[in-house]
Every structure is written in structure tokens, then in C-alpha cells.
């Protein structure tokens, strides 16, 4: 579990430099005791999630998502009524709204909007994510916008209808709304530190009028408006009412499965709930029963089974402490709820590794050959010819295959036109075979600038050429300190996620993976999952999650860890529990072998993956399992499930449809023994 | 079926929680339960009572004696045995035409080595040697045991079912002979290992009858230190995937054995039969001992050599490492990674004899 002892000389503290946060941060920023940095709220959340900061001024949604953090008593950023900086604007009354554009930068506000709309019977209206500045032009007719911060100040007044969300919250619950609090990694805060943060906070409040003058001048805003905001709108004290407001928000958002069940601990208490408390400021210190007592493993599992969302910290605790069978049972029950009917799918698909030339140099990869003539193995680099691809596709078609996974290295010599022409040709020759091609890094290899617009353009071009779904390979662990170590040149996590964000935005689907066992921490594993879950909430790109451990082959430099099949089952089960928003979990019999693969059907998997014709990436590490359709069906049945063959989009493979294609000569007779 | 299963598991749980015995008919029905998690949760009741989070592994160095020069063999073995090996477990096979006196000499030599040695001997060895010498198996057993400590293994237990033995394991000793050797060993105060073959085809009634016979013998003698379910690796089957049982069958056999055999302390699982990974997972289904001393039958392994890698990777492992168990360090690491407390257990289960008696 991640308890962070303060081993560094200076504590790393991060906060956003928003107007409302300045009274809390100006003094801390100048305090030598801290290594302070202003960052975007999402970056602050990332640093806390990945334990790259000890203390952060954290939006409360992130507090719940991460879990297990301690809240500093005393200061907060809240509002006891109208706040003016978080507003739903529209040209139609609330009851006529049909769509809400939301600012993707503020998850807390988006969830608050959802809770509010739900309370007035409008919880069903779709949310569309845009950047803040894009929202006002979209607000027309029955389309509303959730605008925040500067944009809210500047733009909200020009709309006919304005609904201040803090005010709405106050009317809904009778309590203040808390947007952000100082949060710390467990074990970091001491009573002295809490007192220090509070002193800085009070000193910061004393500088409020300086802050107002400076901000008004810099942002060309009326001073009175800025003063009204800081003096009248923002509540800086985490008093009893604010505390209850925060708990109520967690409760309602938890009920709606928008946030994990959140428990907040206050700093300065020992394990028994007592301990020395900072006294100088007469802080409100509600009775908080220690986390471990209120939420034992059983309770986390029971609540997850009942459909509640679990936090990153809960997932870590399950990994460290849960019994394997209990974990499996809950994962299996959740799987049965999400994919009922005791059915287990599999697919007849094949990999085609069209090129092994790659300039990314991952330490864990035994497959690629460098395009650098000076590098060993350069002469073993290949790009398959159309004829070679034709032969493999014909084998797949003859076997009744419905999906191909075209996957290779990031070959700098292959331009976008190579892929669009290849995909068009494949689609015209084998229309019945879905193209589930390319990793995020192969897509990025076609985007020299790596901008969101460029990624979107490339994806649209590939889709237009016939790409059905994007393969999810290459996610590895979406924590940059791990990525830098195992694959320095590979995309950083934010850009990998951006590719998938664009996939979701243009309405495509992808798979998503996790390659563990590369020496990453438990926290890294679940930070990876947390990032995926957030993106899935945002744009819903993922159909299926698959995980497997890195397995070191003779040629690889990187050591492997976490190799036990029992660990694989544990992680897969937690993934099923954690991903309440991803429909399918596929087991990885290719890396684990058919036996652990079969057992994994009791640990949350509802998909047994694909028959294996050929696979060169995993097998480059020495893993060489093969199964045909008979073996797969036998294993599924033997475990007590009903096997069914699926298509790439997880719909049932249809025998009649297949026969029709056959009668039209589009696909050939099955070759016995082929699959 | 779901209702029947719930009734069955509820009844069995109540019996287990009260520390009472499961009837053979329930044992048969438990083999029919598809949901292995339900079985695991039942098996946990007696398992936790006996072992908590402790998982045992054999910390003996296992070697196969294949008839080479005994002195050379011993010196080689002592050179390669890892420093952390507590004992030497020598697997010995009677290859026909070898006299009792020859084996007594060999065992006496092996018993005098640097490492404490134990000879793992199958009941068939004793039966065939006794027939060759024209003596009673009990006598052969006694004379060999005087030369070196013996561990009588579960080999050739197969299924105590004549039809099964005739069809699937022709040439093995009879059920009476197998039981006779173990009974004689128990009478001499030896601890032995019981076993049962499970295969790609379910034989619920036969499994239940077999376990019932084992349990009855244990009631009579108390001499079994462990029970091991043994995966039958079929020879020459047309469908390659039918060559060995799947993990679900393994875990089912382990769990039912733990539920039913209330009088046998250890339920062992052999990595060489089911892979190390499945063996470690089996600890959550009622096994408590990862037994690296058990090998896949060499005849079966040879039959598969040269076959392509197929549905069942175990076949491949059993060919290449048929008698080389995973290194102790690997087993220990895997146990710890799976959140068990690893405990080394000697070849003869010495430290547990008293626990078993208790
Ligand atoms: S894993 Fe993929 S990106 Fe990395 S070196 Fe191998 S082929 Fe290239």
C-alpha cells in the first residue's frame, strides 16, 4: 500500500494558479519549507495519483478518484451559495434542455452538473466535452453549456438563462459546495505541518486585497467584480457545514456511480482516531473513524459487487490484501451482471505483423529490428509484401476468420498513404474481415506534430480507408516514469491517451491493454487503470481491457517481475471490479497458457480471445502457446460456460450470415483442421 | 441444476463447519459442480483450519536414478544438489531383472551420502520385485526400508475401477496390490502418499468411490501423509487438446479431495503435472503442498516428445523437464508472490507426522 513517508528534504506541493486558489497558495509558494509549483488541476491530480507530489490543492473529484488521501483541516475552496464561476448557461429553460456542452478541464464541475441535472429529472441528457473556449458558441436552442472560471465571468451574462451550480447545490442540500481542498499522501502530514499550512493560509488571506488588485489589472476585469468573487462568493473555511456538503457530494455522486465511494480522513490523527491536533486555529475536526475500520476489504468488495465504483486506493488494497477466491468471486459476479448468460466469447482472428522495423527501441521488446544500419539485426528488418499479406489473409478467410490485427513496429519509412492504400485493398478483397489494426504509437508515427487535430485527421483517414477498430497495444503502463525507463522513445502517457481520446471523439472503438511486470509499483498499475477509466468516462473509446505480464526472453534487457499466474488472476479480477465502464475483459491465454486462461474465466473475463495462427511479438519472448477453435470451445465448456464465436465488435458471429457470404462466393469453404 | 448445486453446497458447508464427514454420494455430486469457485469456498473451510496462510513446498532435491553406476550417480547428485536442499529424494524404478540384493546395496549406498536421502518407490516396484524374487511384497518392502528410508508413492493408483484400468492403464498393478503395498508400509510405520488419476473425461462416480476407498484405508491405518490428484496425460489421442485435463478439472479434483478427505493432512499438487502456475493457484482451491517430487510418467512423456506445441503446454514442459521440478527458489518466490507463507517440507514429511497424529 502506498503510504508515503516524507523522505525528501522539501515536500512537493502543487496547486492551480486560479484566482480563487491564490489566497491559499501565495504564502506557501514563498515558503522554503516546500518545493511548490503551480500546475493545471489535471496535472496536480496526476502528480498525486502517481505520487510525484506529497501535497496538492486537489479538486474533490480527484480526491475521491484517488482515495486514501488525507485532507488538511482548515482551508478549502468552496461556496455557500452563488459562486459565479461555475454556471450552466442556455437560451432555453432547464426543462427543455437536450444537450450540455461541458468543459473537460473540470471534472468536479461536470459531476456537480450531472448531480444537479439528475435532481431535476434531467440526468439523462447527454454531455459533450469541449475545451472551455469552444463552449459559448455552441450554446443555442436546446443546447446548454457548462462554463467555468474566466469564461463564466466574461460570458455568462449574455445568455438568457444562467444556473449557478453552487447556488443550485445550496438549494438542493442546504449546504456549501466544496470545490477543492489541500490533500496529502497518507503518512505525510504531521500536526506541525497542518499548523504551518494553516498559518500560510491565514497569511495569504491577509494579502487578498493585493491579489484582487493584481488580478484585476492583469486580466482586465473590474476590481469590484474580482473583490466580490473573493470576498463574497468563495468560502475559504472548511467548517462543519462545508464538511457535510463535501460528504453529501460524495454520497450523491457515489450513488450515481460517478465517483468512487469516498471517505475523507483528516490529518493529525493517529490510527485510533485520536492523536495530537493542531489547536492554534480552533479548527473544525469532525470525528473520523479510521479508514481501515470503516472500509475493510470485505466492505470494498461488497460495495463493488453492488455496483459502486472503487477508488485507485481501494484497488491497491484489493491487490495487497484481498483473498484470491473472494476477489475472483466478486469479479465473476460483476462479469455476470455486465455480460449475463454464462456465455464466453472467442473470435477467429489473426495477427499479421506487417513490419518488424521500428525506431522506438522498447527495452522489453524482442520483436523489432532497428532501421539504423549500424544496429545489430538491421538486416533482419522486413516489410511484408502484398503477396505475403494476401496469403495470410486468405488463410484467415479460409478458416472463417472475421478479424485481422495488423500490427508492427513504428516504421518511419511507411507513410499514411501506405496504410490507407493497404486498408482499402484489404477491405475490397476481404469485406467480411474487420480491421482491428495499429497501436497508438503506430498512429503517432504518422503524426509528426502529435497535435490533437493531426491525430484526429490521421484516424479519420484510416477509418475512411477501412479501419474498423484501433488495437490497444502499446499502453504498457501509462505512468511516465515507467515508460521512460522501459521505453524511452515511446509516447508519453498523455499523448497515448490523446490518441484514444480522438478515437472516442470520432466514434471509433479500441481495445486497451496493460503490460505489467516491468518493475512498476502497485500504485503505477492502478494509476494506469485510473487514467483509462477517466478517459472512458470522458469519450468511451474502449470495448475491452486485456492485461498480461511482460515475460523476459533471452534477448531482452529488461528484467521481469510479477510472473505468477495467481498474480495475473488477481490483477484481471481487480480490473473487472475497477472498470465499471468497460464492457468486456479478455483473458490472455496467449501469454498465460490455456490453463490459467481458462481459470481466468472465473476471474472476471467474459472473452477467451482469439485462436492463434501466428504471433510474433509475445512469442519473441519465448511464449509459444497455440490453440485452435476446438481447443478453445473445449476449454470454455469444460469450465462450465457456453462458448460462442464473436465478431470484432463483440457481436455474435452469425452462421447464417456466414453461409450467405459463402454462397455469394465472398468467402471460401472452411478448410478442415485450419482453425 | 443451480438449485441442486446450492442445496448441495449449503449442506456440505454445514457439515464442514461442524467438522463432520462428507458422504460418498455428496462427493460424487461435488465432482459434477461446474463452478469451481463454489468448490474453492467449501475447500477453504478444512484448508484454513489446518494451514491458515501457510503453503508447503518440498525442499528436497529430487533426482531420478536410471540404473547408472550408483557411486558415480551419488557423487554427481551431491555435487549438483543446491545448497538449500534439506534432503535428497531419489526416484527409483525397478527395470526388470534386478534382484532385491542389488537394490539393497544401492539404497544402502544412497542412504550413506552427505545429504539425508529418501528413496521414492512406487507400489508397482515392490509388487514386481517381490514377484521376481518370489517373496511377499511386505517382505521386499521391509528389506528395502532397512537399507534406506523409503517414501511409497501414489503411482499406479490410477482409478480404483477395473474398467478404467483395463482401458486406460493396461499393465498397471491391481487395486488390491496397490492397497496391499501401502497397507504393509503403514504397518511398518511408514508414511506414504495416496493418489488418484483424473482425466479429460469426467468419472464422478469412480472418483468418489476411489476417494472413499482411500479414506477408508486411512481410517484403518492412518498412514497416508498426503494425497495427490494426478493428471492423466493420454497417449496418442487424435485431438491434441484432449491429451490432458484442463485447469478447471485440476482445481475441481483438488477441491473435492480437500473437502472429502478429512483424515489426510496434506493435499499435494504436482507442478510437473499441471504447471507451476496452476499448482500455485490450486493452493486457493484446497491444495497446501506444491510437490516438486512428483513427475509425469516417463512413458507418457516420451510418447509426446517431438510433438508440436499444442493446446496444453504442460505436455511440452513434461517432455523437456519431466523430472526436473521447478527450482525451489522459483516455487518459494511464486508462493510468496501469491501471498502464501512458504514452508519447506522434507521428503518424508517428518515435521508433520506429529501434527497429523494430533
Ligand atoms: S514494442 Fe512495438 S513500439 Fe516497442 S520496440 Fe517493439 S515494435 Fe517497436
> How confident is residue A259, by pLDDT bands cut at 50, 70 and 90?
very high
User: Is pLDDT of B313 > 70?
Assistant: no
Name which of A440-444, A503-507, A530-534, B243-247 the model is least confident about.
B243-247
Higher pLDDT, A614 or A502: A502
Of the pLDDT bands very low, low, confident and very high (cuts 50, 70, 90), residue B226 is very high
Instruction: Judge contact between A370 and A378, C-beta under 8 A.
Output: yes
- Residue A640 to residue B242, Cβ atoms within 8 A: no
Cell of B48: 484454513
* Residue A324 with chain B: CB contacts under 8 Å: 281, 284, 338-339
Ligand 1 contact via A381 beta carbon (within 6 Å):
no
State the cell numbers at B324.
526436473
Say whether residue B48 is in contact with chain A using an 8 A CB cutoff: no
**Lowest-pLDDT range of A273-282, A380-389, B84-93, B243-252:** A273-282
CA of B30 to the centre of ligand 1 (A): 48
Distance from CA of A317 to the nearest CA of B (A): 13
Least confident of A367-371, B133-137, B261-265: A367-371
Percent over 70 (pLDDT), chain A: 89
The pLDDT, as a whole number, for residue A43 is: 94
For chain B, give the number of residues: 358
What are the grid coordinates assigned to A176, written together? 456549501
B319 reaches A (C-beta below 8 A): no
Q: Where in chain A is the domain with CATH 3.20.20.70?
A: 324-674
Nearest CA among A533, A544, A505, A508 for reference residue A650 = A544
| Better pLDDT: A58 or A268 | A58
pLDDT for residue A626 is more than 80: no
Least confident among A408-422, B69-83, B338-352: B338-352
State how far the Cα of B311 lies from the Cα of B275, in Å rounded to an integer.
13
A212 contact partners, CB below 8 Å, separation of at least 6? A223, A226, A227, A230
- Residue B240 to residue A631, Cβ atoms within 8 A: yes
Reduced to 3 states (helix: H, G, I; strand: E, B; else coil), residue B175 is: helix
Rounded distance, CA A510 to CA B184, Å? 65
Q: Which residue of A has its CA nearest to B251?
A: A599
Select the more confidently predicted residue: B356 or B326. Answer: B326
Q: Which three cell numbers stand for residue A452?
A: 490533437
pLDDT band at B289 (very low <50, low <70, confident <90, very high): very high
Q: Tell me if A410 CB under 6 Å of ligand 1.
A: yes
- Rg for chain A, CA atoms, rounded: 27
**Nearest-CA residue for atom 8 of ligand 1:** A409
Residues of chain A with CATH 3.40.190.10: 11-80+177-294, 86-173
Task: Give the chain A residue nearest B43 (alpha carbons).
Answer: A325
Is it the case that residue B240 has pLDDT exceeding 60?
no
Task: Give the mean model confidence (pLDDT) for residues B16-23.
Answer: 96
Q: Please compute the mean of the pLDDT values over residues A367-394 and round it to a whole number.
A: 91
User: Strands, DSSP E only, in A131-258?
Assistant: 143-148, 161-164, 177-184, 234-237
Beta bridge partners of A266: A71
pLDDT reported for residue A398? 86
Q: Do A630 and B313 touch (CB under 8 A)?
A: no
* CB–CB contact B241 A593 (8 Å): no
Give CA–CA dist B36/B38, Å, rounded. Answer: 5
Looking at residue A596, its pLDDT comes to: 94
pLDDT top residue among B355 and B325 = B325
Between B234 and A117, name the one with better pLDDT.
A117
Share of chain B above pLDDT 90, in %: 61
CB A650, CB A583: distance < 8 Å:
yes
Predicted confidence (pLDDT) per residue in A134-159, tens digit = 999 999 999 999 999 889 988 999 99
Burial label, B299 (beta-carbon count in 10 A; 0-12, 13-18, 19+): exposed
- Full-model pTM: 0.91
Q: Which CATH number fits domain A324-674: 3.20.20.70, 2.120.10.80, 3.40.30.10, 3.40.630.30?
A: 3.20.20.70
**pLDDT of A673 above 50:** no
CA A198 to ligand 1 centroid distance, Å: 49
Say what the pLDDT of residue B243 is.
65
Name every chain B residue with its beta carbon within 8 A of the beta carbon of A638.
Answer: 246, 248-249
In terms of phi and psi (left: phi > 0; alpha: psi -120 to 50; beta: otherwise), the region of B162 is alpha
Q: Say if domain A11-80+177-294 classifies as CATH 3.40.190.10.
A: yes
Is the backbone of residue B275 left (phi > 0), alpha (psi -120 to 50) or beta? left
**Protein residue closest via CA to atom 4 of ligand 1:** A362
Mean pLDDT of chain B: 85
* Rounded mean pLDDT, A67-91: 94
∠ CA B219-B222-B225, rounded to 5°: 125
Q: Which atom of ligand 1 is nearest to the CA of A408?
A: 7
Assign B308 a pLDDT band (cuts: 50, 70, 90): very low
Contacts of A428 (CB under 8 A, 6+ apart): none
63-82 of B, contacting A, C-beta below 8 A: none
For A605-635, the three-class secondary structure string (H helix, E strand, C coil) is CCEEEECCCCCCCCHHHCCCCCCCHHHHHHH
Q: What is the DSSP letter of A379?
A: G
In this structure, are residues A111 and A232 in contact, taking their beta carbons and an 8 Å threshold? Answer: no
CATH 3.40.50.720 fits A86-173, yes or no: no
A295, pLDDT greater than 90: no
Higher pLDDT, A377 or B144: B144
In the predicted model, is pLDDT for residue A605 greater than 90?
yes
Q: How far apart are CA A172 and CA A175, in angstroms?
A: 8
Asked if residue A378 has pLDDT above 90, the reply is no
pLDDT at A442 over 90: yes
Q: What is the mean pLDDT of chain A?
A: 89
Picking from B36, B239, B277, the nearest residue to A596 by CB comes out as B277
Q: Whose CA is nearest to atom 2 of ligand 1?
A: A409
- Which of A471, A476, A490 has most ligand 1 atoms within 8 Å of CB, for mutation? A490
Cβ contact, residue pair A564, B337, below 8 Å: yes
In b/e form, how buried is each residue of B66-97, taking b as 16+ CB within 10 angstroms? eeeebeebbeebbeebeeebbbbbbbbbbeee
Closest-CA residue in chain A for B330? A564
Q: Measured between alpha carbons, how far is A659 from A663 in angstroms, rounded to an integer?
A: 6
Distance from the Cα of A376 to chain B's closest Cα (Å) equals: 30
ipTM of the complex: 0.89
Return the residue of B nearest to A331 by Cα.
Answer: B37
Amino acid at each position: 500500500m502506498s503510504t508515503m513517508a516524507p523522505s525528501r528534504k522539501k515536500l512537493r506541493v502543487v496547486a492551480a494558479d486560479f484566482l480563487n486558489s491564490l489566497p491559499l497558495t501565495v504564502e506557501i509558494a514563498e515558503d522554503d519549507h516546500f518545493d511548490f509549483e503551480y500546475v493545471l488541476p489535471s496535472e496536480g491530480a496526476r502528480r498525486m495519483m502517481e505520487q510525484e507530489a506529497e501535497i496538492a490543492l486537489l479538486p474533490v473529484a480527484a480526491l475521491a478518484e484517488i482515495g486514501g488521501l488525507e485532507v488538511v483541516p482548515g482551508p478549502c475552496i468552496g461556496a455557500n451559495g452563488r459562486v459565479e464561476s461555475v454556471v450552466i448557461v442556455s437560451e432555453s429553460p432547464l426543462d427543455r434542455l437536450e444537450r450540455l456542452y461541458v468543459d473537460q478541464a473540470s471534472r468536479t464541475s461536470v459531476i456537480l452538473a450531472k448531480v444537479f441535472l439528475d435532481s431535476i429529472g434531467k440526468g439523462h441528457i447527454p454531455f459533450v466535452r469541449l475545451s472551455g473556449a469552444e463552449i459559448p458558441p455552441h450554446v443555442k436552442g436546446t443546447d446548454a453549456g457548462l462554463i467555468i472560471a474566466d469564461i463564466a465571468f466574461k460570458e455568462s451574462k449574455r445568455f438568457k438563462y444562467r444556473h449557478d451550480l453552487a447556488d443550485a447545490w445550496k438549494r438542493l442540500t442546504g449546504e456549501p459546495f466544496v470545490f477543492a481542498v489541500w490533500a496529502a499522501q497518507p503518512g505525510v502530514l504531521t500536526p506541525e505541518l497542518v499548523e504551518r499550512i494553516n498559518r500560510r493560509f491565514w497569511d495569504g488571506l491577509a494579502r487578498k486585497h493585493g491579489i484582487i488588485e493584481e488580478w484585476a489589472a492583469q486580466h482586465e476585469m473590474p476590481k469590484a467584480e474580482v473583490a466580490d468573487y473573493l470576498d463574497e462568493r468563495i468560502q475559504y473555511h472548511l467548517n462543519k457545514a462545508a464538511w457535510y456538503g463535501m460528504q453529501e457530494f460524495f454520497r450523491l455522486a457515489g450513488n450515481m456511480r460517478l465517483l468512487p465511494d469516498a471517505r475523507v480522513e483528516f490529518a493529525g490523527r493517529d490510527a485510533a482516531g485520536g492523536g495530537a491536533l493542531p489547536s492554534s486555529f480552533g479548527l473544525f475536526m469532525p470525528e473520523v473513524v479510521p479508514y481501515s475500520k470503516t472500509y475493510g476489504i470485505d466492505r470494498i468488495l461488497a460495495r463493488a459487487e453492488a455496483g459502486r465504483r472503487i477508488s485507485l486506493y481501494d484497488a491497491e488494497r484489493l491487490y495487497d490484501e484481498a483473498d484470491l477466491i473472494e476477489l475472483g468471486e466478486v469479479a465473476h459476479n460483476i462479469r455476470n451482471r455486465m455480460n449475463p448468460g454464462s456465455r464466453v466469447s472467442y473470435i477467429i482472428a489473426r495477427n499479421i505483423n506487417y513490419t518488424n522495423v521500428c525506431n522506438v527501441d522498447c527495452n522489453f521488446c524482442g520483436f523489432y529490428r532497428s532501421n539504423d544500419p549500424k544496429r545489430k539485426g538491421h538486416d533482419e528488418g522486413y516489410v511484408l509484401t502484398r503477396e505475403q499479406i494476401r496469403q495470410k489473409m486468405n488463410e484467415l478467410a479460409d478458416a472463417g476468420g472475421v478479424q485481422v490485427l495488423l500490427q508492427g513496429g513504428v516504421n518511419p519509412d511507411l507513410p499514411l498513404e501506405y496504410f490507407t492504400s493497404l486498408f482499402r485493398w484489404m477491405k475490397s478483397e476481404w469485406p467480411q474481415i474487420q480491421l482491428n489494426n495499429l497501436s497508438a504509437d503506430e498512429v503517432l508515427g504518422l503524426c509528426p506534430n502529435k497535435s490533437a487535430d493531426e491525430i484526429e485527421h490521421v484516424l479519420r483517414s484510416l477509418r475512411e480507408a477501412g479501419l474498423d477498430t484501433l488495437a490497444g497495444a502499446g499502453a504498457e503502463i501509462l505512468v511516465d516514469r515507467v515508460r521512460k525507463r522501459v521505453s524511452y522513445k515511446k509516447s508519453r502517457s498523455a499523448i497515448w491517451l490523446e490518441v484514444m481520446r480522438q478515437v472516442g471523439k470520432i466514434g471509433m472503438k479500441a481495445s486497451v491493454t496493460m503490460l505489467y511486470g516491468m518493475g512498476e509499483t502497485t500504485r503505477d498499475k492502478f494509476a494506469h487503470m485510473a487514467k483509462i477509466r477517466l478517459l472512458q468516462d470522458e469519450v468511451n473509446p474502449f470495448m475491452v481491457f486485456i492485461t498480461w505480464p511482460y515475460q523476459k526472453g533471452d534477448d531482452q534487457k529488461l528484467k521481469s517481475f510479477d510472473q505468477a499466474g495467481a498474480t495475473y488472476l488477481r490483477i484481471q479480477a481487480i480490473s473487472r471490479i475497477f472498470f465499471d465502464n468497460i464492457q468486456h475483459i479478455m483473458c490472455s491465454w496467449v501469454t498465460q497458457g490455456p490453463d490459467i486462461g481458462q481459470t481466468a474465466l472465473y476471474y472476471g473475463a467474459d472473452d477467451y480471445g482469439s485462436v492463434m495462427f501466428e504471433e510474433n511479438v509475445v512469442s519473441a519472448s519465448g511464449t509459444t502457446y497455440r490453440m485452435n477453435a476446438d481447443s478453445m470451445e473445449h476449454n470454455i465448456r469444460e469450465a462450465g460456460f457456453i462458448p460462442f464465436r464473436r465478431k470484432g465488435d463483440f457481436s455474435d458471429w452469425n452462421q447464417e450470415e456466414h453461409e450467405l457470404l459463402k454462397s455469394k462466393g465472398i468467402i471460401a469453404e472452411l478448410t478442415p483442421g485450419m482453425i | 441444476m443451480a438449485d441442486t448445486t446450492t442445496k448441495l453446497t449449503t449442506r456440505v458447508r454445514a457439515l464442514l463447519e461442524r467438522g463432520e464427514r462428507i458422504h460418498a454420494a455428496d462427493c460424487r455430486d461435488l465432482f459434477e459442480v461446474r463452478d469451481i469457485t463454489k468448490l474453492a469456498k467449501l475447500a477453504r473451510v478444512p484448508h484454513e483450519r489446518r494451514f491458515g496462510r501457510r503453503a508447503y513446498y518440498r525442499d528436497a532435491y529430487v533426482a531420478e536414478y536410471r540404473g547408472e553406476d550408483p557411486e558415480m550417480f551419488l557423487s554427481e547428485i551431491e555435487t549438483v544438489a543446491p545448497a538449500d536442499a534439506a534432503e535428497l529424494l531419489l526416484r527409483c524404478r525397478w527395470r526388470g531383472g534386478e534382484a532385491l540384493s542389488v537394490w539393497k546395496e544401492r539404497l544402502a549406498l544412497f542412504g550413506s551420502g552427505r545429504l539425508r536421502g529418501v528413496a521414492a518407490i512406487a507400489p508397482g516396484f515392490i509388487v514386481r520385485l517381490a514377484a521376481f524374487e518370489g517373496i511377499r511384497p511386505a517382505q521386499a518392502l521391509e528389506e528395502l526400508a532397512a537399507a534406506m528410508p523409503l517414501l511409497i508413492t501414489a503411482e499406479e493408483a490410477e482409478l480404483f475401477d477395473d474398467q478404467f484400468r483395463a482401458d486406460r492403464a493396461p499393465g498397471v498393478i491391481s487395486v488390491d496390490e496397490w492397497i496391499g503395498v501401502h497397507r504393509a508400509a503403514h504397518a511398518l510405520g511408514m508414511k506414504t502418499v495416496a493418489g488418484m488419476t483424473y482425466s479429460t473425461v469426467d468419472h464422478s462416480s469412480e472418483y468418489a468411490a476411489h476417494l472413499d476407498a482411500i479414506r477408508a484405508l486411512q481410517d484403518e491405518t492412518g498412514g497416508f501423509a498426503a494425497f495427490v490428484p494426478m493428471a492423466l496425460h493420454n497417449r496418442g489421442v487424435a485431438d491434441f487438446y484432449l491429451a490432458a485435463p484442463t485447469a478447471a478439472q485440476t482445481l475441481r479434483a483438488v477441491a473435492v479431495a480437500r473437502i472429502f478427505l478429512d483424515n489426510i493432512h496434506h493435499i499435494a499438487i504436482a507442478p510437473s503435472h499441471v504447471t507451476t502456475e496452476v499448482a500455485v493457484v490450486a493452493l486457493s482451491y484446497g491444495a497446501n503442498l506444491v510437490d516438486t517430487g512428483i513427475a509425469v510418467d516417463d512413458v507418457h512423456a516420451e510418447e509426446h516428445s517431438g510433438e508440436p506445441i499444442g493446446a496444453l503446454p504442460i505436455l511440452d514442459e513434461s517432455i523437456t523437464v519431466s523430472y526436473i521440478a521447478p527450482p525451489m527458489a522459483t516455487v518459494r518466490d511464486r508462493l510468496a508472490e501469491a501471498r502464501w507463507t512458504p514452508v519447506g517440507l522434507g521428503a518424508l514429511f517428518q515435521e508433520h507426522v506429529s501434527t497429523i497424529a494430533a
